[in-house]
């Protein structure tokens, strides 16, 4: 199995970083899928990263008869249902799909819409992309962690995606247990994204300010309680490891949720604290820290 053409939907900060690398490698065999209303503007303006602008092929639903070997989702969680429909005319019976979305629900939402296709779990770690008025700025492309739920034996579709990422010089790693991997990232996001959104802290102030550290840790511990009750392999040491991990992030870097707050954009709080709260109710597990974070971030959105 070989991936000969690739499409990506969602050219925000992360999408622009990986879209640029895929465009450099695949050229005319790479396309950006866009909603019809934005297509002409994107064609005209292109996408700018670190001062360089590139102009990939941009298509909307029904423009062509092309079926892509791989479609990558980089939209926000609240845009996913629309994106699922925007790509529909480009999905063939052998199309592989992968999500780089935050949270723990995106892959299953895509699979429910395309139950006959291979849909992989995926996430981006340690990327420092930031969207500015001049385009996207980044110094670290990070690493894509991906695969099926169980990758003890590497499936052909997983190997094909790894070959594609390698061709595009995108760092990647296949994890044996992707359920544990996506839940670890979810736990980190619930802690770090939300504490930075409410405090405006950059990465360097998440653990060095004692009260930030308290909120960061306690928000993650609520996820840990839910994971344990759900028989998902998260561990107490994962929380401690994430506290240490924060030292490896660029101290002046900003989480995507802080960037959304500063840009007066809708956040993904419904898919972070909102998911924790809902699962806590189902499992009868208290989630007071996430409840407060949810209320504050929703209030900030209302004040835009």
Domain with residue 184: its CATH number is 1.10.1040.10
pLDDT at res. 37: 84
Comparing CA positions, the residue from 220, 211, 194, 216 lying closest to residue 301 is: 194
Residue 72 pLDDT greater than 90, yes or no? yes
Is residue 241 domain-shared with residue 126, that is, in the same domain? no
Quote the CA–CA distance of 259 and 256 in Å, as a whole number: 5
Q: Is residue 197 part of a domain?
A: yes
Closest to 169 (Cα-Cα) out of 27, 57, 28, 18: 18
Q: What is the pLDDT of residue 52?
A: 96
Task: State residue 133's pLDDT score.
Answer: 86
The total number of structural domains that make up the chain? 2
Q: Which domain holds residue 269?
A: 179-302
Answer whether residue 35 shows pLDDT above 90: no
Same-domain pairing of 94 and 201: no
CA 278 to chain centre: 21
Q: Higher-confidence residue: 143 or 249?
A: 143
pLDDT band at 249 (very low <50, low <70, confident <90, very high): confident
Boundary-marking domain end, from 145, 176, 207: 176
Asked if pLDDT for residue 234 goes beyond 90, the answer is: yes
pLDDT (mean) for 197-216: 96
Contact by Cβ (8 Å): 126, 143 = yes
* Mean pLDDT rounded to a whole number for the chain: 95
Q: What are the pLDDT digits (tens) for 150-196?
A: 999 999 999 999 999 999 999 999 999 999 999 999 999 999 999 99
CA distance 89 to 85: 8
pLDDT band at residue 38, thresholds of 50, 70 and 90? confident
Cα–Cα distances in angstroms (integers) from residue 200 to residues 49, 87, 161, in the given order:
24, 35, 36
Q: Are residues 170 and 218 in the same domain?
A: no
Tokens encoding 161 = 């995606």
Do residues 248 and 293 share a domain?
yes
State the pLDDT confidence band at 211, using cuts at 50, 70 and 90: very high
> Under 8 Å CB-to-CB from 277, ≥6 apart: which residues?
287, 290, 291, 294
Report which of residues 245 and 54 the model is more confident about.
54
CATH code, 49:
3.40.50.720
Provide the whole-model pTM.
0.93
Residue 248 predicted with pLDDT over 90:
no
DSSP symbol at 117: S
User: Which residue, 160, 176, 192, sits at the end of a domain?
Assistant: 176
Distance CA 279, CA 10 (A): 28
Write out pLDDT tens, residues 9-29: 999 999 999 999 999 999 999
Are 20 and 115 in the same domain?
Answer: yes
Confidence of residue 132 (pLDDT cuts 50, 70, 90): confident
Considering the domain architecture, whether residues 60 and 172 belong to the same structural domain is answered as yes
């Amino acid at each position: 199995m070989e991936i000969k053409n690739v499409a990506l939907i969602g050219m925000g900060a992360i999408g622009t970083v990986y879209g640029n690398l895929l465009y450099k490698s695949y050229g005319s065999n790479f396309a950006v899928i866009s909603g019809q209303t934005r297509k002409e503007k994107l064609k005209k303006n292109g996408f700018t990263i670190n001062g360089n602008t590139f102009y990939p092929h941009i298509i909307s639903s029904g423009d062509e008869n092309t079926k892509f070997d791989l479609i990558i989702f980089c939209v926000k969680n609240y845009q996913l249902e629309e994106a699922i429909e925007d790509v529909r005319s480009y999905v063939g019976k052998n199309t592989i799909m992968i999500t780089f979305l935050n949270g723990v629900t995106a892959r299953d939402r895509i699979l429910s819409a395309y139950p006959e296709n291979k849909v992989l779990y995926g996430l981006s770690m340690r990327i420092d992309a930031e969207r500015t008025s001049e385009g996207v700025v980044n110094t670290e492309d990070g690493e894509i962690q991906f695969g099926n739920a169980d990758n003890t034996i590497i499936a052909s579709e997983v190997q094909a995606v790894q070959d594609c990422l390698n061709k595009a010089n995108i760092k990647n790693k296949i994890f044996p247990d992707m359920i544990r991997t996506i839940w670890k990232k979810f736990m980190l996001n619930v802690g770090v994204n939300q504490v930075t959104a409410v405090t405006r802290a950059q990465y360097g102030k998440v653990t060095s300010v004692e009260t930030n550290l308290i909120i960061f840790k306690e928000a993650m511990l609520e996820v840990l309680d839910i994971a344990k009750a759900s028989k998902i392999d998260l561990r107490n040491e994962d929380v401690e490891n994430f506290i240490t991990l924060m030292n490896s992030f660029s101290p002046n870097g900003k989480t995507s949720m802080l960037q959304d707050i500063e840009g007066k954009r809708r956040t993904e709080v419904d898919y972070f604290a909102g998911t924790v709260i809902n699962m806590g109710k189902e499992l009868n597990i208290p989630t007071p820290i996430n409840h407060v974070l949810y209320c504050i971030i929703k209030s900030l959105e209302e004040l835009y």
